[in-house]
Amino acid sequence: VPWFVAVIDGKPDFRVTRNGAREEAYRFAKCWICGDKLGAHLAWVVGPMCLVNHTSSEPPSHQDCAEYSAIACPFLVNPQQQRRPYALPSGVQSPGGVALDRNPGVALVATTTRDCKAFGDGSGGWLIRFGVVTQAKWFAHGRVATRDEIIASFTSGIEILRDLARTDGPEAEEELQRQYERALEMVPA
Ligand SMILES: [Zn+2]
């Protein structure tokens, strides 16, 4: 059971983050998966769109812990598996930001230096912006993802971000395009 998972009525609910876990992990540099101290490198388990805006709602993990969860987590392994928002315990809050309510189909383990910063999302929540990505490893169905799978996930996800950027005006759209091209450079040939 990953360190962040809430235990509800004696059973771990993998959809729910334990109260205060995000704050504790971020502030004390604890691995999101095992809870031990992080080292010089941070590994973020994210969807492809998080590579576009370098933003994650979940704190980082050790490289090995991140790769393990990208291979073993049922939600990340089975792209057909939808998020299950029904019957969430009362009091469960969204972490903040605009989460894309879709299964990206591809899980990315993005490795960075310790350079990251929490910021407010403007509506009471907070997210983490991570720095330069030094390595990107892609997974789908519990194995290494193919280029086609990665590109398919990018092209469906970017349309959602483009719709959001459009409401913010042309500058936001241009900035998004720059970020998108930077992210595509991390896709294997
Ligand atoms: Zn760990």
Ligand 1: centre distance to CA 181 (Å): 31
Q: Rounded CA gap, 166 and 173, in Å?
A: 6
List, as one string, the DSSP characters of 85-141: -TTPPTT----SS----S--S-EEEEEE-S-EEEEE-SSS-EEEEE--EEEEEEEET
Ligand 1: centre distance to CA 27 (Å): 15
Q: What is the mean pLDDT of residues 70-85?
A: 63
**pLDDT reading at 92 higher than 70:** no
β-strand pairing of 42-46 with 107-112: antiparallel
**pLDDT reading at 82 higher than 60:** no
**pLDDT reading at 42 higher than 90:** yes
Ligand 1: centre distance to CA 54 (Å): 21
- What would the pLDDT profile of 119-164 be if each residue is shown by its tens digit? 998 888 899 999 999 999 999 988 999 999 999 999 988 998 999 8
Ligand 1: centre distance to CA 71 (Å): 15
Residue ranges near ligand 1 (ion) with Cβ within 5 Å: 31, 33-34, 62, 65
Give the three-class secondary structure for 9. Answer: coil
pTM: 0.84
**pLDDT reading at 78 higher than 80:** no
Q: Rounded CA gap, 75 and 114, in Å?
A: 27
Max Cα separation, the chain?
A: 50
Ligand 1: centre distance to CA 148 (Å): 30
